[in-house]
Structure 1
Amino acid sequence: MKVTVYSSPNCMPCRATKRALTKANVPFTDIDVSEDATAAEHLKTLGFKSTPVVEVELPDGMDRWSDHRENKIKALASIAERPA
């Protein structure tokens, strides 16, 4: 499982999402879209207009969502706890 958080500076939901992922022991890569034009364009192409956007590569496909979603983070935590 690969988790990427697309965030921006001074974004409270971004901070909450990253804090919750860290607390849940879910490893993630943080990409600041204000510094990465390619990442910003990627989100725009997908139809996202605000941060955070969380992108999760799973064995059976891709999951993406925007905003701070505690229920999604809890689900990721349970997946991360499973033995490989």
Structure 2
Amino acid sequence: MGEIVLYGADWCGDCRRAKAWLRENGVPFTEVDVEHDEAARERAVEIAGGRKNIPVVVLPGGRVLVEPTNVELAEAVRAATA
């Protein structure tokens, strides 16, 4: 499986939930802090098609999820690893 990248911030509840789900399910990911890195913040907005919502999750193969629920995250990870 390729790398999953999660763009988020520590203060973001949806980010904390998504990171917890990934950790609980043993899914490796790289976290990019958009609060303290302006270039990362701009990249996340670009990836998300102009949306400023977080988390932005980039899956192997390039699929992008913005503010996914745990169910959406599970389905996308399952599809990316199939």
TM-score bracket relative to the smaller structure? 0.7 to 0.9
RMSD (Å) for aligned C-alpha atoms: 1.8
Residue 2 of structure 1 aligns to a residue whose secondary structure is: coil
**Where does structure 1 differ by over 6 angstroms across 4 or more consecutive aligned residues?**
none
State TM-score, norm by structure 1.
0.78
Quote the residue 1:33 is aligned against.
Answer: 34
* 2:50 aligned to which of 37, 41, 47: 47
- The answer (yes or no) to whether the contact 1:13–1:67 under 8 Å persists in 2 is yes
Q: CA deviation at 1:20?
A: 0.3
Greater shift after overlay, 31-40 or 70-79?
70-79
- The answer (yes or no) to whether the contact 1:7–1:51 under 8 Å persists in 2 is yes
Structure ranking higher in strand proportion: 1
CA distance in 2, matches of 1:78, 1:25: 16
5+ residue gaps in structure 1? Answer: none
1:12 aligns with 2:18: no
Q: CA deviation at 1:35?
A: 1.3
5+ residue gaps in structure 2? Answer: none
**Larger-Rg structure:** 1
CA distance in 2, matches of 1:55, 1:78: 13
Quote the residue 1:68 is aligned against.
Answer: 68
Greater shift after overlay, 17-26 or 45-54?
45-54
For these two proteins, the number of residue pairs brought into alignment is: 78
State TM-score, norm by structure 2.
0.80
Identity %: 26
Q: CA deviation at 1:79?
A: 4.8
